[in-house]
Structure 1
Amino acid sequence: MDIVAFTMCEKRTPESRKDESYAVPGTGDPDGLIQSKWFHGATKDDLNRFLDQDLDLLVVSLPLTDLTRGMIAKEQFQILAKKKTFLCNIGWGPLVVTADLIDALEKGLVRAAALNVTDPESLPKGHPLWRAPNLLSRRT
């Protein structure tokens, strides 16, 4: 299994890949050694180059900013469709464009999606996302 990472800033050296934040001993990757490839950038083109790596699983874990809002949308789902990637968003709901996610699930562009938070949050009764195939949500 290969693990590839995408960060905003380049992580060229082993020192730059270290995570100095606290982790429970025996967990995580404090030395940044498990990734086989590192990608970086702040543009859609940078993100798309990363997504074009035939990912089986994409875990989105980002803060919600003007730069990250809507970063996974129709164009990105088209790229993920090559491998039918499983999308797991443990970050904020608006990182993923909900209408585009519904479309991707209905068309089978992604294998499935697991969401911790939706957009809108809380998802109203009768919202189309509730009926989308292959959706896992903390409220389902």
Structure 2
Amino acid sequence: MKVLDEIMGLNLRAVVQLTHLTLPHLIKSKGNIVNISSVAALKNIQDSFAYCTAKAGLDHFSRCIASELAPKGVRVNVVNPGPVRTDFVENMGVNEVGKFYENIGQMMPLKRVSEPEEITDVILFLASEKARGVTGASWVTDDGYMIK
């Protein structure tokens, strides 16, 4: 239960708390929120029930708060990345990081792993005026993970 509480605290509770703390400013400035979730919210990942559950909760929270904030001119969206070349894997204790990403990439339909800048591009789009009509959406960027 300790691990579950830690994962929920980091991946869901912290976002809910920060969102509520920033609401007055977001409403006043007509700002927007882009939450970072994962494909784990949409598809089970073996031995990761806590993470998958927390990310699914984050997605649903984002939709709920988007519905509440839309009349106030505040947009809320979610980005659901698949594998991305970050220090996440190293922090999990994987020793051969390069080989790990190579293997994961070969399992993706596009035969690659995303770079962080690709996720940033989606976030920047959703935060921009170009996405002024987008709220309550989940944007998957996963090199085809969800279709395999």
If the length of structure 1 is used for normalisation, what is the TM-score?
0.31
Which is richer in helix?
2
Which is richer in strand?
1
